Structure 1
Amino acid sequence: MEEQYPQALAKYLKAQGKSKADLSEFHRLLSHTNGPVIPIVNTVDEAGCPDNFTYINQNIYSDEVPRPCTPMFWCECTNGCCDGCECTKERNYDNRGLLLSMGDERIVECGPLCKCGDDCVNRVVQKGRKVVLELRRYPHKGWGVVAKQRLKKGTFVAEYVGEVITSDEAENRGFKDKAQGQTYLFDLDQEFVNDICDFSIDAKTHGNISRFFNHSCGPNMRTRSIYVEHRDPRLHRLAIFATRDIKAGEELTIDYSPSAVEGESVKGDPCHCGSSKCRKFMYF
Structure 2
Amino acid sequence: MGSLIPFPQDLNLLPDPIICPKLEPKLEPLDEHLYFSNPNPNPNPNFNHPISISIPIPNLQQNPNSLQELSPLPEITTAEENEVDPEFFRISQLFQSSLQRYGDLAVLDPNSQAIVPYAGESRLSTAVVTSKKSKRSLELVRVTDLGIEDQRYFRELVRMTRMVFDSLRIFLTHEHAKGRSLDLGKRMMGNSKAASVMKDCGLWLNREKRIVGPIPGVYVGDVFFFRTELCVIGLHGQNQAGIDFVSANRSSNREPIATSIIVSGGYEDDEDAGDVIIYTGQGGQDRQLAKQCCHQKLEGGNLALERSMYYGIEVRVIRGIKYEGTATGKIYVYDGLYVILDSWFDVGKSGFGVFKYKLLRMADQPEMGSAMLKFAENLRANPLSTRLTGYLSLDISMKKENVPVYLFNDIDSNQDPLFFEYLVKPVHPPFIFQQMSNVMGCGCVSGCLDDCYCAQKNGGEFAYDCNGILLRGKPLIFECGSFCRCPPTCRNRVSQKGLKNRFEVFRSRETGWGVRSLDMIPSGAFICEFTGVVLNREQAAVFTMNGDSLVYPSRFTERWVEWGDLSKVFPQYVRPAYPSIPPLDFALDVSRMRNVACYISHSSSPNVLVQFVLYDHHNVFYPHLMLFAMEIIPPLRELSLDYGVADEWTEKLAICN
Distance 2:490 2:649 in 1: 45
Opposite residue 552 of structure 2, the aligned amino acid is: F
Opposite residue 536 of structure 2, the aligned amino acid is: T
Q: How does 1:45-84 map to 2 (within 5 A)?
A: 45-50=412-417, 52-61=419-428, 66-68=431-433, 69-70=435-436, 71-84=438-451
Distance 1:29 1:212 in 2: 13
Distance 1:99 1:144 in 2: 24
Q: TM-score w.r.t. structure 2 length?
A: 0.34
Larger helix percent: 2
Residue of structure 1 equivalent to 2:596: 209
Contact residue 174 and residue 185 of structure 1 kept, 8 A: no
Structure 1 counterpart SS, 2:513: strand
After superposition, the Cα gap between the structure-2 partners of 1:245 and 1:227, relative to the gap in structure 1 and judged at 3 Å, is same
The reply on whether 1:92 has 2:457 as its aligned counterpart is no
Deviation by residue 1:45-78 (Cα, 9 ceiling, x = unmatched):
111134741012111245xx62333543211111
Contact residue 526 and residue 628 of structure 2 kept, 8 A: yes
Distance 1:15 1:135 in 2: 17
Distance 2:441 2:518 in 1: 37
Structure 2 counterpart SS, 1:222: strand
Q: How does 1:209-248 map to 2 (within 5 A)?
A: 209-248=596-635
How far the C-alpha of 1:201 sits from its partner, in A, is 1.4
Unaligned runs of 5+ in 1: 1-7, 270-281
Distance 2:555 2:618 in 1: 14
How far the C-alpha of 1:184 sits from its partner, in A, is 4.3
The reply on whether 1:158 has 2:545 as its aligned counterpart is no
Deviation by residue 1:155-183 (Cα, 9 ceiling, x = unmatched):
110011111112233234345548xxxx4
Contact residue 188 and residue 235 of structure 1 kept, 8 A: no
Give the alignment partner of residue 146 of structure 1, picking from 516, 519, 523: 516
Distance 1:175 1:15 in 2: 45
Higher relative contact order (CA 8 A, sep 6+): 1
The reply on whether 1:126 has 2:496 as its aligned counterpart is yes
The reply on whether 1:185 has 2:185 as its aligned counterpart is no
Give the alignment partner of residue 108 of structure 1, picking from 478, 487, 500: 478
Distance 1:143 1:171 in 2: 27
Residue of structure 1 equivalent to 2:487: 117
Opposite residue 553 of structure 2, the aligned amino acid is: D
Distance 1:11 1:268 in 2: 37
Bigger mean CA offset, 88-97 vs 167-176: 167-176
Opposite residue 388 of structure 2, the aligned amino acid is: G
After superposition, the Cα gap between the structure-2 partners of 1:189 and 1:176, relative to the gap in structure 1 and judged at 3 Å, is same
Opposite residue 138 of structure 1, the aligned amino acid is: S
After superposition, the Cα gap between the structure-2 partners of 1:211 and 1:203, relative to the gap in structure 1 and judged at 3 Å, is same
Distance 1:173 1:138 in 2: 29
Structure 2 counterpart SS, 1:239: strand
The reply on whether 1:36 has 2:403 as its aligned counterpart is yes
After superposition, the Cα gap between the structure-2 partners of 1:268 and 1:114, relative to the gap in structure 1 and judged at 3 Å, is closer
Distance 1:235 1:268 in 2: 21
Distance 1:240 1:14 in 2: 31
How far the C-alpha of 1:188 sits from its partner, in A, is 5.8
Contact residue 32 and residue 55 of structure 1 kept, 8 A: no
Distance 1:86 1:61 in 2: 26
How far the C-alpha of 1:251 sits from its partner, in A, is 0.5
After superposition, the Cα gap between the structure-2 partners of 1:205 and 1:14, relative to the gap in structure 1 and judged at 3 Å, is farther
Opposite residue 397 of structure 2, the aligned amino acid is: L
Structure 1 counterpart SS, 2:621: helix
Structure 2 counterpart SS, 1:145: strand
How high is the sequence identity, in percent, across the aligned residues?
26
- The number of equivalent residue pairs is 244
Contact residue 396 and residue 406 of structure 2 kept, 8 A: no
Distance 2:481 2:539 in 1: 30
Distance 2:413 2:595 in 1: 22
Contact residue 530 and residue 627 of structure 2 kept, 8 A: yes
How far the C-alpha of 1:14 sits from its partner, in A, is 4.5
Provide the aligned C-alpha RMSD in A. 2.9
After superposition, the Cα gap between the structure-2 partners of 1:72 and 1:245, relative to the gap in structure 1 and judged at 3 Å, is farther
Opposite residue 73 of structure 1, the aligned amino acid is: M
Opposite residue 149 of structure 1, the aligned amino acid is: D
Residue of structure 2 equivalent to 1:18: 389
After superposition, the Cα gap between the structure-2 partners of 1:98 and 1:79, relative to the gap in structure 1 and judged at 3 Å, is same
Opposite residue 127 of structure 1, the aligned amino acid is: K
Residue of structure 1 equivalent to 2:146: none
Opposite residue 466 of structure 2, the aligned amino acid is: N
Bigger mean CA offset, 200-209 vs 29-38: 29-38
Distance 2:405 2:648 in 1: 34
Contact residue 56 and residue 206 of structure 1 kept, 8 A: yes
Q: TM-score w.r.t. structure 1 length?
A: 0.75
Contact residue 72 and residue 111 of structure 1 kept, 8 A: no
Structure 2 counterpart SS, 1:248: coil
Opposite residue 219 of structure 1, the aligned amino acid is: P
Structure 2 counterpart SS, 1:241: strand
After superposition, the Cα gap between the structure-2 partners of 1:227 and 1:15, relative to the gap in structure 1 and judged at 3 Å, is farther
Distance 2:411 2:396 in 1: 21
